[in-house]
């Protein structure tokens, strides 16, 4: 008999009220990342995991990312093609990588079917890249189309392996599954009402019959049929979207770590798995640089009350991290200390006293060139504004300020952003003092400080050379 779900005490009231418990089986969306699905061994490993939970009677939707490094390869291919060079070697490497992974499938007819599919898909990609060589540029819409090939290739192989193991499975692209987005190419957002209707129409009947839908992550399409992508980490959004649309009991994000960690294990040797965190806490750490979750993936699950669990493909016995609706403070004041690198600090000062309206105009100037500040801190009455931006956006930001009169601009590029996150910080005195006391003991100078309105985090800026030591200092102070 399948185990009953173990997260009762963490489920929000909204979630409990919304669903009647199915004690004999649960509905799961299982998303597998690029390292999990890489190569024949990876495809076989995740297929065994799906088989294990399917055998217990659960209804399962599988969402698959592109294989490791394939998205980066496709970006290089598009860049080369737009520069007039056809990426012949990269194309051959891409073909070989997927044909090697296909060796996981033993049934000859299935293997031949997918071989033909791979050849057809790569011929289509080659034709498009040849056209790019003539055009000499890659628009965001064109790039989304090129990037869609990664998930289409990997997901078809996973589908074949599930069929090879005797499971009923059906392959879907994101748009075939019913996901509809706006036309913000490169960072598309779903049209929820239409997506929910289409997904339920297309996938629910299959689930009720015991069929496993195998869906490409990361990619979808507009109403007009133009291919879109959700941006980096977008397969996680595909998973939570499907989970919300299908009233899933949980969404499982399978990755290569044991869950959300208290800090990056490469920085803090004794970092450990966080067993539970709220949607709000998860969104905070995702915004500040956590690698296994992204801010936008949390929203659909939170709206629908669907818990997210982060698990390790290579250590499936570990329960991982559960993300749910309960936001109560815990004994553990701070849950995660994270660091965001590749940022710059821009300090803006006016020569005269200015109003809040002047600050708004500056921020509108940033948005006009596509720059959104990660953090902002301002002071009045003399208009001082400190903005933390990704280094990749620094040039656009400085360009937007070029014609602003009486403005002094100072830029520091060798900085890191440290974020200290935990619901237990809310309303508890002395947290800031302990944080900055721990940092000061290591001789680290803090350049800027911001506390968000949620009171779930304190963020501060230090020199890049001090970033790792600052993470260790705060982790030792609060977590050990």
pLDDT of residue 402: 76
Task: Give CA 480 to chain center in angstroms.
Answer: 28
- The encoded tokens of residue 133 equal 């060589």
pLDDT of residue 90: 97
- Pick out the chain residues at pLDDT < 50: 1-21
pLDDT of residue 77: 97
What pTM was estimated for this model as a whole? 0.87
Evaluate whether 327 touches 280 at the Cβ level (below 8 Å): yes
pLDDT of residue 372: 67
* DSSP class of 190: B
pLDDT of residue 24: 59
pLDDT of residue 356: 63
Tens-place pLDDT, residues 43-99: 999 999 999 999 999 999 999 999 999 999 999 999 999 999 999 999 999 999 999
Evaluate whether 442 touches 473 at the Cβ level (below 8 Å): yes
- Distances, alpha carbon 424 to alpha carbons 13, 229, 277, 289, 329, in Å: 21, 36, 11, 20, 4
Write the DSSP string, 323-373. Answer: EES-----S-S--EEEEEEEEEEEEEEEEEE--HHHHHHHHHHHHHTT---
- The encoded tokens of residue 323 equal 């993300």
pLDDT of residue 14: 38
Evaluate whether 169 touches 161 at the Cβ level (below 8 Å): no
């Amino acid at each position: 008999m399948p185990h009953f779900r173990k997260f009762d005490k963490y489920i929000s009231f909204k979630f409990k009220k919304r669903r009647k418990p199915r004690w004999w089986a649960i509905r799961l969306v299982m998303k597998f990342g690029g390292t999990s699905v890489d190569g024949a061994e990876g495809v076989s490993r995740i297929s065994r995991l799906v088989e294990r939970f399917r055998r217990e009677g659960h209804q399962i939707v599988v969402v698959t990312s592109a294989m490791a490094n394939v998205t980066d390869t496709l970006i290089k291919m598009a860049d080369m093609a737009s520069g007039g060079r056809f990426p012949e070697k990269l194309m051959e490497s891409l073909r070989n990588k997927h044909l090697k992974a296909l060796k996981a499938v033993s049934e000859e007819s299935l293997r031949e079917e997918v071989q033909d599919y791979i050849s057809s898909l790569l011929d289509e990609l080659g034709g498009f890249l040849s056209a790019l060589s003539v055009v000499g540029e890659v628009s965001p819409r064109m790039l989304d189309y090129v990037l869609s090939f990664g998930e289409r290739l990997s997901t078809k192989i996973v589908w074949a392996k599930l069929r090879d193991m005797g499971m009923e499975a059906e392959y879907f692209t994101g748009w075939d599954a019913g996901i509809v987005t706006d036309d913000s190419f490169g960072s598309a957002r779903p049209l929820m009402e239409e997506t929910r209707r289409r997904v339920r129409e297309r996938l629910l009947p299959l689930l009720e019959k015991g069929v496993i839908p195998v869906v490409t992550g990361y990619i979808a399409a507009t109403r007009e049929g133009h291919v879109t992508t959700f941006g980096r980490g977008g397969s996680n959004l595909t998973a939570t979207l499907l989970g919300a649309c299908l009233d899933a009991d949980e969404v499982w994000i399978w990755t290569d770590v044991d869950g959300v960690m208290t800090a990056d294990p490469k920085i803090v040797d004794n970092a450990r798995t966080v067993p539970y965190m709220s949607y709000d806490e998860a969104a905070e750490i995702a915004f500040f640089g956590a690698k296994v979750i992204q801010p936008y993936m949390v929203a659909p699950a939170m709206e629908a009350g669907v818990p997210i669990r982060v698990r390790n493909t290579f250590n499936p016995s570990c329960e991982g991290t559960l993300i749910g609706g309960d936001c109560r403070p815990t004994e553990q004041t701070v849950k995660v200390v994270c660091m965001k690198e590749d940022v710059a600090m821009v300090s803006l000062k006016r020569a005269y006293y200015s109003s809040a309206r002047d600050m708004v105009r500056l921020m509108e100037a940033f948005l006009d060139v596509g720059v959104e500040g990660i953090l902002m801190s301002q002071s009045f009455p003399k208009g001082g504004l400190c903005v933390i931006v990704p280094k990749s956006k620094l040039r656009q930001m400085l360009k937007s300020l070029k014609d602003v009169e009486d403005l002094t601009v100072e830029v520091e590029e060798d900085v890191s952003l440290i974020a200290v996150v935990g619901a237990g910080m809310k309303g508890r005195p002395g947290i800031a003092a302990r944080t900055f006391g721990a940092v000061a003991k290591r001789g680290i100078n803090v350049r800027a400080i911001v506390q968000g309105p949620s009171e779930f985090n304190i963020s501060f800026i230090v020199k890049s050379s001090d970033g790792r030591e600052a993470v260790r200092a705060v982790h030792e102070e609060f977590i050990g």
